Amino acid sequence: MRVQVCFLLSAIITSLLSLPAAGEFSGGEIWPMPTWKQATPREMGMDAGVLGRAREYALTGGGSGFITRHGQVVMQWGDQKRRYDLKSTTKAIGVTAVGLALKDGKIKSLGDLATKYHPRFGVPPESNAETGWLNKITLFHLATQTAGFDKPGGYEKLLFEPGTKWSYSDGGPNWLAECVTLIYGEDLNTLMFERVFGPIGIKASDLTWRSNAYRAKEIDGVKRREFGSGISANVNAMARIGYLYLRGGRWKGKQIIPASFVDAVRTVPRAVRGLPVVKRESNFNASDHYGLLWWNNADGTMAKVPRDVYWSWGLYDSLIVVIPSLDIVASRAGKSLNKERNAGYKSIEPFIEPIALSVITENGRAVQPYPTSPVTKGIEWASAGTIARKASGSDNWPITWADDDNLYTAYGDGWGFEPKTKKKLSLGVVKVTGSPPDFKGVNIRTISGERVGQGAKGAKCSGMLCVESVLYMLVRNVGNSQIAWSEDHGKTWKWCDWKFTTSFGCPTFLNFGRNYTGARDKFVYIYSPDSDSAYKPADRMVMARVAKNKIREQGGYEFFKGLDGAGRTVWTKDIADRGAVFINPGKCYRSGISYNAGLKRYLWCQTIYGQEDMRFKGGLGIFDGAEPWGPWTTVFYTEDWDVGPGETSSFPTKWMSRNGKTCYLVFSGEDCFSVRKGVLKD
């Protein structure tokens, strides 16, 4: 009997190992043109039994459904050709036209005032003009339900000053639809079929957009459509729209809407998160999980569902669900699943959760936010017992390779290397000589550089860089961050008289070789969680660049906005227009990034936020890309590393082998200068 059980277990394990891991597919991108390819759940690495629970729950409301993974249909039910009134799912489909206008340059920024595009914006009723708020409402407010318009879709009164609260509305999105209509001077239905629906394989028999039901049928002689409601579609068309978003706005090599717009759609803007919610009894804490007219799980309300999932949501629970980390799109329409009403996410969680849980992960590992690297297939870590730990009681350790061939780093909340300082410092500077295992650290005493203060009350270094023989520090916890520099290898420091006061609460430098040799170009690059604080995880990372001879000049900085249709970077001087360079909702925390010249890849080490104290337990992610802005792929990812990852980590470029395969991770695990060897597998 024991032999039979062992044989059975062996067969099961072998079977599981033969399945694709979460997020993995070796078949390349597949486009459903003219039709979708079919696959079994097993072929796509999914458990058919678990996936079936989603279908069973959906069918409690009848209707039709469609689930894809890696661009292939794994499950469908109901009449696939029947069009359903999607109600508020129209918002998520309609806002695609805003992305189109951004791509075309018709809209310069979502921060533009709505009155710039609509001369009669917001009235009637005339009482709205009397509030003095109309000239404050931006396209961003309209797209995030923070403009203040009342719920119905007609000419609704303003309830509050824009940007101060969150209130679910049809009226606000309908004003947005009018802005886009006037921008193009064209019926949005015609525009969208020509530029979006048609190119992704949606026919007129798949999707219809009714005339405006709340306002006059035309505006300036052009057909008037709604964003609040009005689209009817079948689940196939819904899935195609979801797939466009899953692929970052791209379809068969053509960028239909900007990837940066898709990133904005699927995350919670900082200006929205935590706003008071009008009618909280029905909308709950919506401002914590709402993007640009799409809902999401960024706050982890659905505990067993990846935080990067986002979806459209209409009355009767019409849904377009996108799960980037699992490469899944699902659509569902029919009668309502929310039998009790006012149930929040509980009405749709039994549909979304089994879809996510059906994906078979390798040995139960965490679902990584980006696909596996095409260059590096993981890291073979030296055993925990070989980790070198010095400077006990001190953490942080951002590090750079200077012109004198030494490494320079900084510690926080500690006493540095032996002999330790008598006074505990919030910021202390260290010179590291040699290489593992024979390296030594020497504390550099500097009145102008050292700081005191425990935790968030003390200034701390989060980034270190050497350029043209000058050391630079990025210092956090100073509302928000500041730059200091030293021209004598850390003995004396001068401080910029300006700060990053928006975002960049925990910034770090991209490091190249000795004294910045081997740099990609003339710029210095800075990365940070998109947060004002170093102690709160963000949904995304942001990036800035500055010419290396202008690091001290506030006006020299540009902020990464995204990529254009040709894949070129777009930069902006306006920090409010910054886009995401990396997304991992609720997990973007402290990090370090360096260029591996041997592999010609950028290696980004990130502590994966899971708890406040990660000195002894926590997650670690290492991502790589061909450019400073990606596209990012995963080298290593776990939410429970075999040792504590500490606050920050990075691969010093000095300690990389010539071929790039052997590296040494410097991290602050157990509040030490901890060094662990890693071999990158090809």
Q: How far is CA 69 from CA 208, 239, 424, in A?
A: 26, 11, 53
Instruction: Fill in the amino acid letter for 624.
Output: D
- Cα 502 to the center of its chain, rounded Å: 18
Question: How far apart are the C-alpha atoms of 85 and 87, rounded to whole Å?
Answer: 6
Q: What is the largest CA-CA distance in the chain?
A: 83
Render pLDDT for 647-659 as a digit per residue (tens, 0 to 9).
999 999 999 999 9
Question: How far apart are the C-alpha atoms of 27 and 173, rounded to whole Å?
Answer: 39
Under DSSP, the state recorded for 407 is E
Torsion of CA 148, 150, 156, 158, to 10 degrees: -30
CATH of span 379-680: 2.115.10
Sheet with strand 231-233: strands edge to edge: 84-85, 231-233, 207-209
User: Is residue 130 within a helix (H) or strand (E), and if so which, with residue range?
Assistant: helix 127-130
**Number of neighbours of residue 617 by Cβ within 10 angstroms:** 15
Residues 6+ apart with CB under 8 A from 455: 413
Give which of 70, 420, 472, 497 is closest to 243, Cα–Cα. 70
Question: How far apart are the C-alpha atoms of 384 and 393, rounded to whole Å?
Answer: 19
Q: How far is CA 405 from CA 434, 650, 675, in A?
A: 9, 18, 19
Q: What is the DSSP string of 459-516?
A: -EEEEEEEETTEEEEEEESSSSEEEEEESSTTSS-EE-S--B-SS-SS-EEEE-SGGG
CATH 3.30.2130.30 fits 37-364, yes or no: no
Which residues of the chain fall below pLDDT 50?
A: 1-24, 26
User: Is residue 333 within a helix (H) or strand (E), and if so which, with residue range?
Assistant: strand 328-333
Question: How far apart are the C-alpha atoms of 227 and 242, rounded to whole Å?
Answer: 17
User: Phi/psi class of residue 71: alpha, beta or left (left: φ > 0; alpha: ψ in -120 to 50)?
Assistant: left
Please give the pLDDT value at position 17.
Answer: 33
Question: How far apart are the C-alpha atoms of 92 and 145, rounded to whole Å?
Answer: 12
Per-domain residue ranges of the chain? 37-364, 379-680
Give which of 70, 89, 538 is closest to 312, Cα–Cα. 89
For 220, phi then psi, to 5°, come to 50, 40
Question: How far apart are the C-alpha atoms of 61 and 336, rounded to whole Å?
Answer: 6
Please indicate whether the domains covering 37-364 and 379-680 agree at the CATH topology level: no
Please give the pLDDT value at position 20.
Answer: 40
